[in-house]
Amino acid sequence: MQAACWIDLRTVWPHVDVMTLSAHKFGGPKGMGVMVVREGVHLEPLLFGGGQERDRRSGTHNVAGIVGTAMALQVTDTQRVHENARLRSLRDALIAQLVESIPGAVATVEADSAVAGVAHVCIKGVESESMLYLLDTHNVCVSAASACASGAMEPSHVLEAMGLDRALIKGSLRFSLGHTTTAEDIAVAASSTISSAHRLLQVGI
């Protein structure tokens, strides 16, 4: 859904039959998407009516949304290499500050294996939900899990499969970076996270 930000989809398309993209993931309008279907692949429509989208999804076209999606994808494609390098530098700086300044903080993914726009750390001895509350008071938006798993009460099965113990998983934090993220944003996020973590470690929450 969001791979367009990080990789050239021309390298992926030869290996798939259907590809879907969510426009807001690469700066396009919310509620818009792209589906590319290989010739010869038959899909049963979920909506019937006017026969738009080659009978795959009936309904009046959102022309402004379509144009906005196309433009956002074009900009993403032309700026991908530069933007990935920029975000990777910001991400690494954030993780380095957190790991160096917070006892028990670890990076969960090797830098070379991680998406440029996601910084993920776990802090032993800290409850991630408590961190979210404190960081919200600093206007720093983070998550304790992936967006599709937010609200889940059980520890992340993905982090468990990666070999992390539950004491670390309970302090899981995910920072998402994007085209509007600046070095100043990273500095604020780092200092706020460090101060919040130290506060919680002192009281054991």
CA distance 167 to 158: 15
Active site residues: 148
What type of residue sits at position 135?
Answer: L
Q: Are 144 and 201 in contact (CB under 8 A)?
A: no
Q: Is 1 exposed, middle or buried (0-12, 13-18, 19+ CB in 10 A)?
A: middle
Of 174, 77, 165, 94, the residue nearest 124 (C-alpha): 165
Element (H, E) at 120: strand 118-123
Give SS3 for 13: helix
Per DSSP, helices labelled H in the chain are: 63-101, 128-137, 157-161, 166-169, 183-203
